[in-house]
Amino acid sequence: MEQQVRILGVPMDLGADRRGVDMGPSAIRYGGLADQLASAGIDCIDGGDIAVPRPEESDPDAGGLSSGRAKFFRETKEVCEDVATAVNATLLEGQFPLVLGGDHSIGIGTMAGAARDDEELGVIWFDAHGDFNTPETTPSGNIHGMSLAAVLGDGAFADHDWAHTPEIREENVVIVGLRDVDDGERRRLYESDVTAFTMSDIDTRGAPEVVAEALEIATDGTDGMHVSLDLDWLDPTEAPGVGTPVRGGVSYREAHIAMEYVAEHHDQLRSMEMVEVNPILDEHNRTAELGCELVASAFGKRVL
């Protein structure tokens, strides 16, 4: 990749119940992100962190929803609008936006910013979870479990321009590594045109074949592609420090192979984010360090 990479931190934990992911951007930087990118031949600058309100100073139920529940809706809207503006400004300056979370609700802002200017965007969502709940189906009210539904304008999000991103079509959205789905979002996934590859698909077909097909789907007729990497995609034995760990995830090598396949489509890659690193639950920052390695692989780092 010839573009300069701009790192944007979003220390956000309003979208989740468990505290700690707000320290993710700092942990990732401390884990050697800049050095890993440099080793891949990538020039990068750090754009600092986007301001996030403190949950102690906010009312989680003060929002503007017509139905259902989404905690810290107003604050999430404000943060995601700022993220979208920063991502779009980065692209307009000819740089590549690499966004560090923070919980996965920030993906709403990243995708909105990357899809501006009426250009269609495909999405690959590496995640143990579907993140396809709506305010009407969510069992928790946590927006980090609604990110994909939000950008696709599902449920109550249809009336909110800051979330709904029409440039992203369901048929160009792919979830990879799915293994923990709520009943309500399972029904909505079945009814949608979103492609979901479960861990059973990876077990049966292998990570390279699944990721190759995911890339084909995300880039079919689109102007670019967004890659969202939730570290809970990996098995907790590899990445213990995540917001919502689920057993049975991908291995260290499977994760690297997936990112190496992403790197082969660097000309179509428009934006990327890495989320849900929780240093409170981590062991000697190993999850953040692993995340830095994976990002470097996505940007072209190889053994030879």
Which pLDDT value is given to residue 219?
A: 98
Q: Let me know if residue 304 belongs to a domain.
A: no
pLDDT per residue as tens digits for the range 240-283: 999 999 999 999 999 999 999 999 999 999 999 999 999 999 99
232 an active-site residue?
yes
Residue 82 lies in a domain: yes
Instruction: Measure the CA–CA gap between 243 and 20, rounded to whole angstroms.
Output: 8
Evaluate if residue 187 carries a pLDDT over 90.
yes
Rounded (10°) CA dihedral 50, 133, 174, 1 = 0
Tell me if 17 is assigned to a ligand binding site.
no
Is 244 domain-assigned? yes
Q: Which of 87, 91, 107, 112 is nearest to 165 (CA)?
A: 112
CA dist., res. 256 & res. 302, Å (int): 10
- 144 assigned to active site: yes
In whole angstroms, give the CA distance from residue 61 to residue 70.
Answer: 7
Whether 253 is in a domain gets the answer yes
Q: Is the predicted pLDDT of residue 1 greater than 80, yes or no?
A: no
Tell me which of 273, 276, 282, 289 is the catalytic residue: 276
CATH code assigned at 281: 3.40.800.10
Q: Which of 13, 75, 144, 167 is catalytic?
A: 144
Q: Is 61 annotated as a binding residue?
A: no
The pLDDT of residue 304 is 64
pLDDT of 237 over the 90 cut: yes
C-beta separation of 199 from 95 below 8 A: no
Q: How many domains does the chain have?
A: 1
pLDDT of residue 255: 98
Averaged pLDDT, 137-152: 95
Containing structural domain, residue 287: 5-299
> Sorting pLDDT into bands at 50, 70 and 90, what band is 195?
very high
Of the candidates 238, 215, 229, 271, the residue with the CA atom closest to the CA atom of residue 6: 271
160 marked as binding residue: no
Q: Give residue 67's pLDDT.
A: 76
Residue 116 has pLDDT above 90, yes or no: no
Q: What is the pLDDT of residues 3-20, one digit of tens each?
A: 899 999 999 999 887 889
Q: Is 131 a catalytic residue?
A: yes
